[in-house]
Amino acid sequence: MFRRRVDLHPIEKLKEIFWPRSGWKRAIQYGWRRVWRLSGTPHAIALGVAAGAFSSCTPFLGFHILVAMLIAWVIRGNLIASALGTFIGNPITFPVIW
């Protein structure tokens, strides 16, 4: 439905990642609305966030999102919510968690 008629060249795709054609404000608004409209039951979203929070407390630095998505997939949670749940762990809170 929202696909491009003509695919972008790989160099243009890379450029679009660092400087969105529609601007940063529009990209942030899109991301926020995408999160706000997560599909799934409240239970599945809560399971996803819980999986993300759990995986951010593990010592597997660099693999938190992958571990969270794997756990959420196993327990039938929301995958996007699991990726967002990993933001509980950040360089400021890691010493407290560990």
- Using an 8 Å Cβ cutoff, are 79 and 48 in contact? yes
Please tell me what DSSP assigns to residue 8: P
Contacts of 78 (CB under 8 A, 6+ apart): 38, 39, 40, 44, 45, 47, 48, 72
Q: What is the largest CA-CA distance in the chain?
A: 49
CA–CA dist 16, 40 (Å, integer): 29
Q: What pTM was computed for the model?
A: 0.67
Tens of each residue's pLDDT in the chain, 98 residues: 577 788 889 999 899 888 888 888 998 898 888 888 888 899 999 999 999 999 988 888 889 999 999 999 999 999 999 999 998 887 787 787 77
Element (H, E) at 44: helix 42-56
